[in-house]
Amino acid sequence: MSLTKNTSYESALFGLWLNWVIAGGVLFIPNLVSVYAPPQLIPIITYALAGALFIYNKSSLRSRKAVCPLLPTIAMRTLFMSATIMVIISIIYRRGLITYFYDQNTINSAKPFVTSLIISPVVFVNTLWASLRGKKYSACHTCFITLGSSTERGFLGKLFVQESRYQRLFLLAIATVLTIVTWGYYTFFYINVNINIPDRFFFGWVPVILFLVSIFYIGARCFTIWAYNFQDTEGSYNRLDGSSSLRILIISGDTMFLSRQDDISDSDDDDNYYDTPASLAMHFTEKLSKQKAARLLCDISKLNESDFELRFMYASSEASGERNTFHYICCPNSSDVLEESGFKGKWYNLSQIERMLHNRELTPMLAAEIHRLYTVTMAWKTYDADGNRLYKVKNYHPLFRLNGICDWDVDFNSPLWLEVSRFNEDKPLFRFRRMLRRIFDDR
């Protein structure tokens, strides 16, 4: 088991490097090919590479392995947009529309576009857009729906967030340099007659050289991270025993029972966050039944099973596969039941919890649980499973309440409602985009 887990860490870091190689490779292949091949072939090659990336991205997410879809998504969109621009420019030249903008004697119809002049700025725009969107970028949201939040995915989840941000900024820097270099050369030195040796170097080989250098740099960075985090001073693997956790949110009406961490354990940490007191660690298990979870809750709380109702919320797993967590909701018969339990803490209403969440007074795991609870609840109360509004009142959203949550007929473990929260009738071009999804996306 230990060897398998350490291999998972290695494969995760290798996956980060491999994503860079694949995403960067397909971005720079059209640049190199374009200085040797006829321009009519370049859009076809670019579309083919975008399709291959689409398949690779989908298969990686379906495997539920430690993977980051950010760079492949940026590259896929860049290739599709670039190929479309090439096709549009080719049509403009073929129909003679270009003569409305430029003198016919100054254009070369045999060379309607220079590939690197298109791809480099499009990479810059897409990467900048992904940076501005942050966690709201579609690839990041898809990762959250499929694999869970970075907190729930443990150390590797946080590492992926850090490294994906770094690689995104690194790609943005490369795209900026290439855009300046290629457009600068085109403006001051390029002669629109044919592709000569300097043209091939600047338009074809400079992007490839930068890409090859980046492969070694990112590879060295990933190796350094692996050596620092996953090996001890003697050079052997740091092995972590697999374990499982049970976390139970205690909810009564519209209040939640929370404790400060120093009430739960004798921790000397300066950061004294609020968390649910109903949590425990145990030996690794792939499944945890509702009955066993109820017995464990009775053991740690000194309550009887007749004092509460328990419902499963969702399960999460660290990206490494080392640990998993089962999240449950407990609805006591009355708030007074907790006074006789072994738990220390207080009842907090929704406005107090919202304030603590904004002030970052909750543990990251509790914040992730509340975020999922709120997102799924509001999506379920507002839309049907297809994203259509339940109430045909513009901009109407029901109030967020927790009362009766143990009786709700909603699956918090299903990614359906997380997807509905992002893609629904209130989003622009909803029906058109839904049609495209049904054609191209079988997710």
pLDDT band (50, 70, 90) for residue 45: very high
Two tokens, residue 162: 């850090």
Angle between helices 138-147 and 41-62 (to 10 degrees): 30
Instruction: Give pLDDT tens digits for 367-418.
Output: 999 999 999 999 999 999 888 888 877 777 888 899 989 999 999 998 889 8
Beta bridge partners of 325: 245, 316
Q: Answer yes or no: do 256 and 222 share one domain.
A: no
Q: Residue 347: which H helix or E strand, with range? A: strand 346-349
CB atoms within 10 A of CB 136: 10
Query: In the chain, count of helices (H) and strands (E)?
Result: 14, 7
Does 290 reside within a domain? yes
| CB 204 within 8 Å of CB 35 | yes
Residue 438 sits in a domain of what CATH number?
Answer: 3.90.79.10
399: DSSP letter: P
Read out DSSP for 63-99?
TT-S---HHHHHHHHHHHHHHHHHHHHHHHHHTTGGG
- Among 230, 256, 285, residue at a domain's last position: 230
pLDDT of residue 262: 62
Residues 205 and 256 in one domain: no
Residue 8 pLDDT:
62
Position 309 scores a pLDDT of 92
Residue 210, pLDDT score: 92
Contacts (Cβ under 8 Å, ≥6 apart) of 353: 256, 258, 362, 370
pLDDT at 153: 75
Strands annotated E in 206-254: 243-252
Q: Is residue 236 part of a domain?
A: no
Beta bridge partners of 310: 330
Tell me the mean pLDDT in the region 94-106.
66
Whether 7 and 129 share a structural domain: yes
Tell me the average pLDDT across 16-35: 89
- Asked if residue 339 and residue 203 are part of one domain, the reply reads no
Shared-domain flag, residues 223 and 330? no
Please check whether residues 189 and 329 belong to one and the same domain.
no
Decide which of 230, 255, 273 is a domain's last residue: 230
What is the CB-side half-sphere exposure of residue 304 using CA atoms within 13 A? Answer: 3
Percentage of the chain exceeding pLDDT 70: 86
Q: What value does the mean pLDDT take over residues 417-429?
A: 86
258 plus 181 within the same structural domain: no
Confidence tier at 250 by pLDDT (50, 70, 90): very high
- The pLDDT score that the predictor gives to residue 304 is 86
Judged against a pLDDT cut of 90, whether residue 264 lies above it is answered with: no
**Mean pLDDT score, 131-135:** 86
| pLDDT at 3 exceeding the cut of 70 | no
Give the whole-angstrom CA distance, residue 284 versus residue 287.
9
Residue 213: per-residue pLDDT: 93
pLDDT of residue 242: 63
Is residue 161 domain-shared with residue 189, that is, in the same domain? yes
The pLDDT of residue 234: 40
Give the pLDDT of residue 363. Answer: 92
The CB density around residue 356, as the number of other CB atoms within 10 Å, is 18
Q: How far is C-alpha 319 from the geometric centre of its chain's CA atoms?
A: 13
In this structure, are 304 and 402 located in the same domain? Answer: yes
Residue 7: is its pLDDT beyond 80? Answer: no
User: What is the pLDDT of the chain when averaged over all its residues?
Assistant: 83
Pair 211, 341 in one domain: no
Q: What is the pLDDT of residue 361?
A: 92
Residue 406 lies in a domain: yes
pLDDT of residue 339: 80
85 belongs to a structural domain: yes
Torsions phi, psi for 423 (to 5 deg): -125, 100
CA distance 145 to 413: 10
Domain membership flag for residue 19: yes
| pLDDT greater at residue 407 or residue 10 | 407
pLDDT at 240: 47
Closest CA to 76 of 16, 24, 114: 24
Of 100-104, 218-222, 270-274, 411-415, give the lowest mean pLDDT range. Answer: 100-104
Residues 303-322 pLDDT 10s: 888 889 999 999 988 776 77
Instruction: Say which residue, 357 or 337, is predicted with more confidence.
Output: 357
Task: Give the torsion sign (CA, 44, 71, 371, 304).
Answer: positive
- Residue at 53 is within a domain: yes
d(CA 390, CA 383): 5
Is the same domain home to 198 and 318? Answer: no
Looking at the structure of the chain, the number of domains it has is: 2
Predicted confidence band of residue 237 (pLDDT cuts 50, 70, 90): very low
Tally Cβ neighbours within 10 Å of residue 81. Answer: 18
> What token pair was written down for 282?
């145990």
Three-state DSSP state, 389: strand
Q: Which domain holds residue 151?
A: 2-230
pLDDT given at position 236: 40
How far apart are alpha carbons 117 and 36 in whole angstroms? 16
DSSP code, position 194: B
**Residue that terminates a domain, selected from 230, 261, 285:** 230
- DSSP type of residue 332: E
Q: Please indicate, yes or no, if residue 43 is contained in any of the structural domains.
A: yes
Which H/E stretch holds residue 169?
helix 154-188
Whether 129 maps to a domain, the answer reads: yes
Indicate whether 315 and 412 sit together in one domain.
yes
